[in-house]
């Protein structure tokens, strides 16, 4: 009865509406999105989580010539993410443009992209962060009498408190810049809800700092939680890349690494890094890849590395590899990903082949020069061995008196 067209019950009318054909809807008109919506969407492409914000800020600090960088976080960077450096600082006159989208000191013409050697160039990082968090910047240049501090929201200078002026205000400070990002994703509740726990987000922050500390030996870096006095990572400017590996990944991994240096004239490649020897293996591949100082990913290089080590390691095991490639800026396209996590480079086959050849030659040379030593013989064994009584045929159950083993242990198939 509820489907009867004459029924006057509310339930019948609702069910009838589901069955009757609907009128065609008129096509909605095309309208330009408001700038606020545009900026928030763009920010979501660049800033996925606190660790992606930290990567952008860390690269800004390195571009500023910093030799000391410290990172502090609270709640995995969601409540607070602060980075301090001793770089060249920001002039007071430039403060209004600090968080302005597409405002940068690193690029003037589009053609400059072919020669870009800095990490940043689009002027999007701080602008994007300011659209999803509250940002404050304190900075001082070498020629300034004092530091200046300002607060930002949605790319603009804002008063730190209601009723106060928005202009940068003088304050005490030292040369360099401190950026504090608070309440990340406060206005993007779905993104905030998608974040992992504070511990997981902090681990991601720590991994970013550890990776850049490895490729920037000579720059002191530290990372800690705001509520704790001890730092989880503290590298010194005097540390080498191997020192950083030892500090971050442990002495056991560091002891199994081989230094790698190579050049290839055809592709104009300069390569350096640290790779595990044929005795070392682990359940998952560790590949820390930097191209022109950028932490990037490359499926081609990943496969190339695995192919080389497949000849040496047991099945289903993998190496530990850190590679730093330097190529002419004109051979790279760094503008292919919002976070610059991926890059495209010309003559890819030649570059990948050169990397493979360098690692293969290093492993072959290291395997050929491995040292062996013999186990000392027990008293009496030597005499029995000479008289032929020590063999299994004559002695029945005695072990052979002489055994050889490699100087460094391992379980690889190239273990000799």
What pLDDT is attached to residue 119?
A: 53
pTM of this structure: 0.75
Is 134 within 8 Å of 79 (Cβ atoms)?
no
> Which residues are CB-contacts of 218 (< 8 A; sequence separation ≥ 6)?
67, 237
What pLDDT is attached to residue 87?
A: 95
What pLDDT is attached to residue 37?
A: 72
Q: Is 273 left (phi over 0), alpha (psi -120 to 50) or beta?
A: left
Is 313 within 8 Å of 292 (Cβ atoms)?
no
Bridge pairing between strands 320-326 and 286-291: parallel
Tokens of 33: 């999105």
Distances (CA, A) of 27 to 24, 30, 282: 9, 9, 58
Q: Is 150 left (phi over 0), alpha (psi -120 to 50) or beta?
A: beta
Distances (CA, A) of 5 to 11, 19, 252, 330: 12, 11, 80, 73
What pLDDT is attached to residue 85?
A: 97
What are the DSSP calls for 307-361, one per residue? HHHTTTSPTT-B-EEEEEEE--GGGEE--SSTTS---EESSHHHHHHHHHHHHHH
**Burial tier of 60 (Cβ tally within 10 Å: 0-12, 13-18, 19+):** buried
What pLDDT is attached to residue 377?
A: 57
Q: Is 80 helix (H, G, I), strand (E, B) or coil?
A: strand
Q: Is 339 helix (H, G, I), strand (E, B) or coil?
A: coil
Q: Is 95 helix (H, G, I), strand (E, B) or coil?
A: helix
Phi, psi of 158, deg, nearest 5: -135, 155
Place of tokens 């690193």: 106
Query: Tens place of pLDDT for every residue, the chain, 416 residues?
Result: 444 444 456 665 665 555 556 665 667 778 777 767 776 666 666 788 999 999 999 999 998 999 999 999 999 999 999 999 999 999 999 999 888 876 565 544 554 455 555 554 445 788 889 999 999 999 999 999 999 999 999 989 999 998 899 999 999 999 999 999 999 999 888 889 889 899 999 999 999 999 999 999 999 999 999 988 889 999 999 999 999 999 999 999 999 999 999 999 888 899 999 999 999 999 999 999 998 888 888 889 999 999 999 999 999 999 999 999 998 887 776 555 554 466 667 788 899 999 999 999 999 987 655 544 445 556 665 555 555 444 443 344 444 433 333 334 344 434 33
Tokens of 283: 């359940």
Cα gap 64→216, rounded to integer Å: 13
What pLDDT is attached to residue 118?
A: 53
Cα gap 370→15, rounded to integer Å: 82
Tokens of 130: 């300011």
What pLDDT is attached to residue 146?
A: 96
């Amino acid at each position: 009865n509820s489907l009867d067209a004459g029924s006057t019950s509310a339930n019948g009318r609702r069910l009838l509406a589901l069955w009757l054909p609907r009128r065609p809807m008129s096509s909605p008109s095309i309208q330009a999105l408001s700038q606020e919506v545009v900026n928030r969407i763009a920010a979501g492409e660049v800033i996925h989580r606190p660790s992606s914000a930290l990567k952008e800020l860390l690269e800004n600090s390195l571009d500023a010539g910093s030799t000391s960088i410290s990172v502090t976080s609270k709640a995995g960077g969601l409540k607070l993410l602060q980075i301090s450096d001793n770089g060249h600082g920001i002039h007071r006159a430039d403060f209004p443009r600090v968080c302005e989208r597409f405002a940068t000191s690193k690029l003037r013409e589009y053609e400059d992209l072919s020669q870009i050697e800095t990490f940043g160039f689009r002027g999007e990082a701080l602008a994007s962060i300011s659209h999803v968090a509250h940002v404050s910047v304190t900075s001082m240049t070498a020629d300034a009498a004092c530091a200046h501090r300002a607060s930002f929201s949605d790319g603009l200078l804002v008063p730190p408190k209601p009723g106060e002026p928005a202009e940068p205000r003088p304050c005490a400070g030292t040369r360099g810049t401190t950026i504090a990002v608070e309440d990340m994703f406060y206005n993007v509740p779905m993104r905030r809800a998608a974040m992992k726990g504070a511990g997981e987000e902090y681990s991601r922050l720590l991994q970013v700092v550890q990776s850049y500390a490895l490729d920037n030996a000579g720059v002191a870096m530290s990372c800690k939680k705001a509520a704790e006095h001890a730092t989880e990572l503290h590298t010194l400017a005097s540390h080498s890349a191997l020192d950083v590996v030892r500090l971050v990944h442990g002495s056991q991994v560091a002891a199994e690494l081989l230094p790698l240096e190579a050049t290839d004239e055809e592709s104009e490649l300069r390569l350096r890094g640290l790779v595990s020897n044929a005795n070392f293996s682990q359940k998952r591949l560790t590949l820390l890849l930097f191209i022109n100082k950028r932490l990037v990913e490359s499926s081609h290089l990943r496969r190339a590395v695995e192919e080389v080590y497949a000849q040496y390691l047991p099945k289903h095991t993998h190496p530990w590899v850190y590679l730093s490639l330097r190529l002419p800026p004109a051979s790279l396209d760094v503008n292919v990903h919002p976070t610059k996590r991926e890059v495209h480079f010309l003559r890819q086959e030649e570059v990948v082949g050169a990397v493979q050849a360098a690692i293969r030659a290093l492993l072959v040379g290291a395997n050929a020069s491995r040292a062996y030593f013999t186990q000392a013989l027990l008293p009496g064994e030597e005499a029995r061995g000479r008289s032929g009584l020590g063999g299994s045929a004559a002695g029945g159950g005695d072990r052979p008196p002489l055994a050889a083993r490699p100087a460094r242990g391992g379980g690889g198939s190239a273990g000799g």
